[in-house]
Each structure stands twice: as structure tokens, then as C-alpha cells.
Amino acid sequence: MSKDVVADLKRDHIAKLLEKGIRTDGRKFEEMRPLTVETNFIGSAEGSARVRLGDTQVVVGVKLILGEPFADTPNSGVLTTNAELIPMASDTFEGGPPDQESIEVARVIDRGIREGHAVDLDKLCIEPGKEVWIMFVDVHVLDYDGNLFDAANIGANAAFKTAIVPAKRAGKGEDYPLPVKHQPISLTAVKIDGKILVDPSHDEERVADARLTVATIENGNLCAMQKGLDGAFTLDEVFKVVDLSRRIGEDIRSRL
């Protein structure tokens, strides 16, 4: 992320406000932006959700197709997560093959839902070693005002909740709801001048020193974590973000 002159000025502005305990959009440090979730937004998908987190807007679509399991997990369906940071969403995104940033976003989203067992993949097995459901989770970012990690994670969880396995169309019996197991919710925080802010906006992300995403499940256990950016965290700061993730995750989960 190139930090040029404009960014320096922006940084000064943001930092000065933070000294006074204020974020540029008036939020408290530990306050999320307004969240709206609209499920079944895409009729051609087996499950879908359109999520707005402040001005960030993503559409998550879930598709299921028949395929073969991996050799080392013959009894499990296959989960594939893809995130497209398309140039529509921001002038900082470029077209073409996914860059490191898109890949990190996709992998962090994937890690949250995979390690948190959002979907019971064993229930997506049709014939062990032969045929399983391949589940594609596609994240389409339409408008990018920061914190894709959480917007997409929420979208994926919401889409799962309403998704239907299209067994009938594939000649595999009756349709049934996607077997949801947990709701691993991620929380992303950034550090700017030693302050920890949750749900960063695009401007906050651009000037942040470090970023930490922590995903937790219902019982408060941790299932995934990713630190990013050039800065560092202290151990206490890590523990603080973990606590915030537990607390805010519970709130978000209750609203899905």
C-alpha cells in the first residue's frame, strides 16, 4: 500500500483526532459501522447475501456442484473460497489476475469459515472417495470502504444460513439446507499510533501501522487469526483484540 504525501496528511489528520479519542466518522474506537445484511439476494446462487458495513458493500454467493473429494479427505465435501477485488469497488484495485492483497483476503475469509467449521463438510459427502459437493464461496466486492475481511465473513455466514443443497437438480434426492455447524465470526482491528480501532474504514486502513483479524466461534474459542501490515503488536494488544473479537462476534452472531 503506497504511502504518499496525501496519505501522510491524512495520517496526521486521523492521528490528531485519535489523540482526542475521536474517529473521523465519529465512531468510538471499539464501535462497528452500521451493518445491513440481505440474504437470498442472488437467485442463481444456492445461497447469497449482500452485506453493507458502512460504505463497504459485498455480495457473497454460494454455489454447489458435484465433484470428487480430495484424496486425503474422502468423506468430506470441498470448500473453495474466492474473493474478487474488482476495480469497480475502488480505484486502488486493478483488474487482471488476483494480486497478493486479493489472495490474502480470500485466504483469511476461507480460514475463518474452514477452521471454524461453519459448514459440516462431512455432510456434503455423497459417496466416500467418489462423489461429494464442491462448495464455492465467491466474494464479490462492489464498494470498498475498508474491512473486507469482516464484511465478507459476515456475508458468508449469512449466505450459509439460507443456502440450499441442490440435490434434486443433480438427481441426488431431495434438496436440503446447507448443514451449518458453527458461526465463526471475524473481527478486524487496526493499530494507529498505539490505538486499537475495530472495523477500520478505508482511510484508517491506509494509514494503519498494523492489522489483526481474529475469528471466534459460539463458545468463545479462537479458530483463525491473521496479522497484517508492516507494523507490530505487543502481546497485550493481541489479547485485547482477541477479547474484542469474542465480544463483538457474539453481537454480530446474534443478528444473523
Partner 1 sequence: MGGTPTDLKLIDENGRRLDGRLPDEMRPLKIEAGVLSRADGSAYVEWGLNKVMAAVYGPRECHPRHLQNPERALVQCNYNMASFSVDDRKRPGPDRRSHEISKIISEALTHVVFTEYFPRTSIDVYIEVLQANAGTRCAGLTAASVALADAGVPMRDLVASCAAGKVADTVVVDLAKEEDNFGQADIPLGYVPRTGEIVLLQMDGDLTSDQFNKGISMAMEGCKKVYEVQRDALKRRYEVRSAGTELEVLGAAPAKEGM
Q: Does 115 bind partner 1 (CB under 8 A)?
A: yes
How far apart are the C-alpha atoms of 120 and 132, rounded to whole Å? 12
The three-state secondary structure class of 59 is: strand
Return the number of the residue (29 or 136) whose C-beta is nearest partner 1. 136
Return the number of the residue (15 or 222) whose C-beta is nearest partner 1. 222
Q: Does 120 bind partner 1 (CB under 8 A)?
A: no
**Residues between 49 and 78 that touch partner 1 (CB under 8 A):** 55, 57, 59, 61-63, 65, 71-72
**Count of residues of this chain found to bind partner 1 when the rule CB under 8 A is applied:** 67
Return the number of the residue (20 or 249) whose C-beta is nearest partner 1. 249
How far apart are the C-alpha atoms of 148 and 35, rounded to whole Å? 13
CB of 20 to partner 1, least distance (A): 26
In terms of DSSP H, where are the helices of 68-220? 100-115, 148-162, 202-207
Contact yes or no for 156/109 (Cβ under 8 A): yes
CB of 49 to partner 1, least distance (A): 11
Taking CB under 8 A as the binding criterion, the range among 27-35, 44-52, 125-133, 248-256 that sits at the site for partner 1 is 44-52
Paired strand residues for 144: none
**Residues between 132 and 151 that touch partner 1 (CB under 8 A):** 136, 138, 140, 142-145
**Residues between 183 and 222 that touch partner 1 (CB under 8 A):** 202, 212, 217, 220-222
* CB proximity list for 190: less than 8 A, separation 6 or greater: 196, 197, 200, 204, 205, 208, 209, 210, 211, 212, 229
The total of other beta-carbon atoms located within 10 Å of residue 177's CB is 12
Helix (H) / strand (E) element for 137: namely strand 131-143
The total of other beta-carbon atoms located within 10 Å of residue 174's CB is 7
Per CB under 8 A, residues contacting partner 1 are 2-4, 41-45, 48, 55, 57, 59, 61-63, 65, 71-72, 82, 84, 86-91, 95, 97-98, 100-101, 103-104, 106-107, 111, 114-115, 136, 138, 140, 142-145, 202, 212, 217, 220-235, 238-239, 242
